[in-house]
Amino acid sequence: MEKPVTRDPGFYVMVAIGLAVMFIAPVMLDLFTIMQITQYVVLSVFALSLGYIWGFGGILSFGQAAFFGLGAYTFAVASINMGSTTIPMVLAFVIPTLFGAALGYFMFYGRLSDVYLGVVTLVVALIFWKLINHTAGPEYSIGSARLGGFNGIPSIPTLHVPGDPSAWLDPGQMFQVFMGFLLVIYVALRFLIASDFGRVSISIRENETRSSLLGYDVRKHKVIVFAIGGGIAGIAGAMWATYQAFIDPNSVSMEMSAKALVWVMAGGVGTLVGPIIGCILLQWLTLQLGTVDVVNSIAVLGAIMMVLVLALPKGIVPTARSLLLGGYILWKRNQGQAISGKVVKE
Amino acid sequence: MTTEHILTTRGLTMRFGGVTAVDNVDFNLRDGELRCLLGPNGAGKSTFFKCLTGQLTPTEGKITFAGQDVTGALTHQIVNLGVGIKTQVPNVFDGISAYENVRLSARRKHLAPMARELTHTTLERCGITHLAKREVGLLSHGQRQLVELAMVLAGEPKLILLDEPAAGMTGDERDRLAQLVLESARSAAVVVVEHDMAFIRQIAKFVTVFNRGAIFREAMIDDIMQDREVQEIYLGKQANVAAA
């Protein structure tokens, strides 16, 4: 009845696809396309962070961009000051995780209900955005890094080989490293979800009261899930900062938080592949629509979103999954009929 | 006193605004005792129950379990001290199988192989082995009650608190439940809050009757059934309703 990750064929298929893309894409595709899809990879990590806490912890955060931005700014400030990118990458995970734990502590130990949780996360992201926007003057600098307010931080170092700051990664290598990040995070989350800890968080999502009646500390579990989600979003933010070599308050904006919600919703809450697919699909669509001048791309995207929610309320991946399963059962049945038909003939 | 009594409350009071739902209740439960709580609607049984289980923090008074003060403790803390709780509305995990439901409870204290063993024996004890693979959300109310009871028993509690366990059960299911409760009472203390008189008669010996938030009577079930005043507040009311 319990299906370990290692016995799920879908898991291997996903990892194989990921590895194939990681190694084949830089050889097959031109530089511009590689840089484009690197963007999808970074944002997929961000989508995963929300997909995990929402789908497997029942925590709906309206301000996931707060962690994304925190990671991005942490990385920017630390890497400019240190002249290296290795430790800043670690810090971009650690600081958002700690911030998530602290924020989660107040929210979950304060027994906030779901609605207020949404409001608090949204407001925290808004405060971040406001705060960073107001750091334009030269007095707002941390070490040699000026926060730059709405102008953002330019010249963020490109990722380099750990220990050797002069060995920059070229775009193809950066793409491979980021694919590696995405794969590692995906695999780690799969195992985490299948572990006892993961099962308890799912049980909390399903029924909080019963979980506490079984003796599980609901508050503690939620804080941990929320903090892990924050840390993953932080890594995504750092990847974003080094990929663009630039970061501005847009990374903490409501639009960023809303995008993550839309990706997860479209792809399918309660899956990990869903948020990734939702992210890639909708980002690609946004890009395509951006080249058309006739209609406002955001309006079209909104319309597509509405159609998706109405037609596939469970999201793309769960719907595709049940369609495939249904098709397989039908096919099996037809096969059975064909065989029995033969028997009759003979 | 603490060695004798597994559960005591002293001056337990719960107020909601101007309403006093539980009023200065002193309650004692001996180790291994089976106790039924009776009372008409609004007598404060369920509020009293929620105070015991940590779902509500009492306004005043003290609750002691196995010698420890558990007043205002959280539900999971109380559960971890060895209390098994079944709430009024079945609290089960609807999306997963009955087996997984019970296993989640068994896994709390045991390693995986032991938990599997315990899950199987508990399902069998509750007579729901045939439901093991069924999704709990699709079961009848009575069956869900039994699944929840199995979850409670799989936690191997020292004290079992059951809030209206017989609600929504068929006659057969109720008989099985009565047997289960009696059987469980051999290894643990049990408190049952119940409305169903047929069920009460099957299991009860010593009974506490609540009325208007306070303990109205404590006596053996036969005496309670004979008690004119109890009949008036509880049974009489039902008779009146039936007559009207």
The reported pLDDT for the residue numbered A48 is: 97
Which among B55, B76, B92 has CB closest to A216? B76
Distance of residue A53 Cα from the nearest chain B Cα, in angstroms: 19
Residues A50, A58 contacting (CB under 8 angstroms): no
Q: Which of A197, A222, A253 is the last residue of a domain?
A: A253
For residue A341, what pLDDT is reported?
47
Q: In the block, which residue shows the tokens 């303990």?
A: B215
Domain assignment present for A341? yes
> Do residues A243 and A338 share a domain?
no
Give CA A334 to chain center in angstroms.
Answer: 40
Question: Is residue A239 domain-shared with residue A326, that is, in the same domain?
Answer: no
Cβ contact (<8 Å) for B93 and A214?
Answer: no
Please report whether residue A183 resides in a domain. Answer: yes
Per-domain residue ranges of chain B: 1-71+196-244
Cα–Cα nearest to A69, from A236, A185, A186: A236
Containing domain of residue A177, as a range?
A: 5-253
- Do residues A150 and A238 both lie within one domain? yes
| Contact between chains at A210 and B94 (C-beta distance less than 8 A) | no
Q: What is the model's pLDDT at position A327?
A: 86
Digit-coded pLDDT (tens) for A103-135: 999 999 988 888 899 999 999 999 999 999 998
Q: Which residues of chain B form beta strands (DSSP E)?
A: 5-16, 19-30, 34-38, 60-65, 68-69, 83-86, 159-163, 189-193, 206-211, 214-220
Closest chain B residue by Cα to residue A207: B93
Q: Which residues of chain B does A217 touch, with a Cβ-Cβ cutoff of 8 Å?
A: 74, 76
Task: Say what percent of chain B tops pLDDT 90.
Answer: 38
Which tokens hold the place of B37? 């709580």
Same domain, A217 and A341: no
Q: How many helices (H) and strands (E) does chain B have?
A: 10, 10
Sheet strands (E) in A176-314: none
Rounded Cα distance, B5 and A88, in Å: 59
Shared domain check, A337 and A191: no
Which of A203, A212, A217 faces B104 most closely, judged by CB atoms? A203
Domain B1-71+196-244 architecture: 3-Layer(aba) Sandwich (3.40)
CB contact under 8 A, B80 and A214: no
The answer to whether A52 and A209 are in contact (CB under 8 A) is no
Number of domains observed in the structure of chain A: 2
Give the Cα separation of A54 and A224 in Å (integer): 13
Residue A91 domain flag: yes
Closest chain B C-alpha to A198 CA, distance in angstroms: 12
Do A244 and A336 lie in one domain? The reply is no
Alpha helix ranges (H) inside A268-315: 273-290, 297-311
Would the ipTM clear 0.90, i.e. be above it?
no
Could you tell me which residues of chain B have a Cβ less than 8 Å from any Cβ in chain A?
53, 55, 74-76, 79-80, 85, 87, 91-97, 99-100, 104-105, 107-108, 133, 151, 155
Residue where one domain finishes, among candidates A223, A253, A283: A253
Does A213 sit within 8 Å of B85, measured CB to CB? yes
B155 contacts A214? CB cut-off 8 A: yes
User: For residue B81, what is the nearest residue in chain A, using CA coordinates?
Assistant: A215
Q: Give the one of B55, B105, B133 whose C-beta lies nearest to A214's C-beta.
A: B105
Residue-level pLDDT at B186: 87
Average pLDDT, chain A: 89
Kindly state the average pLDDT of the residues B170-198.
88
- Beta strand B206-211 pairing with B189-193: unpaired
- Looking at A236, A253, A270, the residue that finishes a domain is A253
Which tens digit of pLDDT belongs to each residue from A310-326? Answer: 888 888 888 888 888 88
What's the whole-number mean pLDDT along residues B179-184? 90
**Residues in chain B, how many?**
244
Max CA distance (Å), chain B: 58
* pLDDT (mean) for A157-176: 89
- Percentage with pLDDT > 70 across chain A: 95
Specify the pLDDT at position A68. 97
Least confident interval from A157-161, A162-166, B50-54, B61-65: A162-166
Average per-residue pLDDT for chain B: 87
**Quick check: B235 pLDDT over 70?**
no
Lowest mean pLDDT segment, chosen from A279-288, B70-79, B224-233: B224-233
Closest CA to A234 of A103, A67, A40, A66: A67
Q: What is the pLDDT of residues B15-41, one digit of tens each?
A: 998 888 999 999 999 988 999 998 888
* CB-based contact B79 A209, cutoff 8 Å: no
Are A247 and A324 in a shared domain?
A: no
pLDDT for B228 beyond 50:
yes
Q: For residue A1, what pLDDT is reported?
A: 38
| pTM recorded for the entire structure | 0.85
pLDDT band at A196 (very low <50, low <70, confident <90, very high): confident
Nearest Cβ partner of A214 from B79, B95, B133? B79
Residue A59 included in any domain: yes
Helix axis angle, A273-290 to A31-57, nearest 10°: 140
Pair of tokens at residue A260: 């993550």
Minimum distance, in Å, between the CA of residue A217 and any CA atom of chain B: 6
